[in-house]
Amino acid sequence: MSRSASDPPAVAAEGVVPIATRPVAGRPLRLSELSLGCAQLGNLYRAITDEQAHATIETAWAQDIRYFDTAPHYGLGLSERRLGSALAGRPRSEYVLSTKVGRLLEPMTAAGGRDDGGFDVPATHRRVWDFSRDGILRSLEESLRRLGLDAVDIVYLHDPDEHRREVLDTAYPALEELRGQGVVSAIGAGMNQTAMLADFARHTDMDVLMLAGRYTLLEQSALEDLLPICQQRGIGIVAAGVFNSGLLARRTPPDNAMYNYDDAPEALVLRARHMAEICERHGTSLPAAALAFPLAHPAVVSVCVGARSPEQIERNVELYRSGVPASVWGELREQGLLRPDAPVPVG
């Protein structure tokens, strides 16, 4: 388990090491190293009850998680509503919350059926891409209403892959304006690719970037462009998708594992199994290594992991606290399974 030099570990009651926090450079924010991604609380792939969603967030809080990420896209606003309801009454200064902009939710004139965006919710709205200034302001206003909050801490541009010019011309200036006015503390973008995020890191003044799936045990392409420029400029990285859609989530990857939101290629399954065997030989597990690895990079401020139940929260926290023997990283490098220039956890 890697820790920030500016945030030494402290021993909590009953001898449990609490989840550490890391600062977002130049901003009054500290993110818990383990954070909760709330897509599953918007009924990603399958439905859960309001009670289960609430219990999941309650357990995250009890386990010391203090950074929560959501988006209007997640369940057509359901994730935001559930998160806001579960955090109501919590001291606002004790947690960090981020949401995203870029997709407006427009009411359907003839609502019916189920959502076709991967979430098991009624199709009451449709998603409309909008990175205009008015679209950004409206999206944030509607998110605040669903969350029941006066402000969020971080706002990300959500998946702007096909909208680079509009982002630079209108969306980013709108976020910069909101930050300058103190409406939000930090701004950034969240994507599944490194190239455009690296472009943003070079040419804008974003504070934190959410990178999904591109800096994991299976893929370290972010070392080639994004992570060096972020480290140089003091831009924080929130590493999401560290289990690569499930391929790294089990002790032994199954034949039908998912990777990058699709069926995993056989070669990647075999590679992940080889990693899993090494982890087991050294007394740890593939999921524990997958969660610990990104935190070793100095640009990474948090690892964001989803959960749909209290049990999954407890498992993720146990993985975070378990630590990974240094010998694991040595053998992964020896076997050519990990880039030699990738930082690894120490201690």
User: Residue 7 — pLDDT band, cuts 50, 70, 90?
Assistant: very low
Domain residue limits at 313: 32-244+301-334
Percent of the chain with pLDDT over 90: 89
- For residues 12 and 77, which has the higher predicted lDDT (pLDDT)? 77
Nearest-angstrom CA–CA distance, 220 and 123:
37
Q: If you average pLDDT over residues 297-309, what whole number do you get?
A: 98
The residues facing 262 across adjacent strands are 259
Within a domain: 213: yes
What pLDDT does residue 2 have? 33
User: Residue 16 — pLDDT band, cuts 50, 70, 90?
Assistant: low
Q: Is the pLDDT of residue 17 over 90?
A: no
Within a domain: 251: no
**Torsion angle (degrees, nearest 10) of CA 248, 251, 253, 256:** -100
What pLDDT does residue 12 have? 44
State the CATH number of the domain containing residue 84: 3.20.20.100
- For residues 262 and 240, which has the higher predicted lDDT (pLDDT)? 240
The tens digit of pLDDT for each residue in 331-345 reads 999 999 999 999 999
Within a domain: 108: yes
User: Residue 3 — pLDDT band, cuts 50, 70, 90?
Assistant: very low
Within a domain: 252: no
Instruction: List the catalytic residue out of 45, 67, 74, 156.
Output: 74
What's the mean pLDDT when you consider all of the chain?
Answer: 94
Tally of structural domains, the chain: 1
Q: If you average pLDDT over residues 208-231, what whole number do you get?
A: 97
Within a domain: 276: no
What pLDDT does residue 14 have? 55
Within a domain: 274: no
User: Residue 109 — pLDDT band, cuts 50, 70, 90?
Assistant: confident
What pLDDT does residue 10 have? 39
- For residues 272 and 258, which has the higher predicted lDDT (pLDDT)? 272
Within a domain: 164: yes
74 an active-site residue?
yes
What pLDDT does residue 15 have? 53
What pLDDT does residue 313 have? 98
Pair 210, 190: CB distance under 8 Å? yes
Lowest mean pLDDT among 2-6, 18-22, 49-53, 162-166: 2-6
The tens digit of pLDDT for each residue in 151-174 reads 999 999 999 999 999 999 999 999
CA angle 225, 196, 45 (to 5 degrees): 110
Within a domain: 85: yes
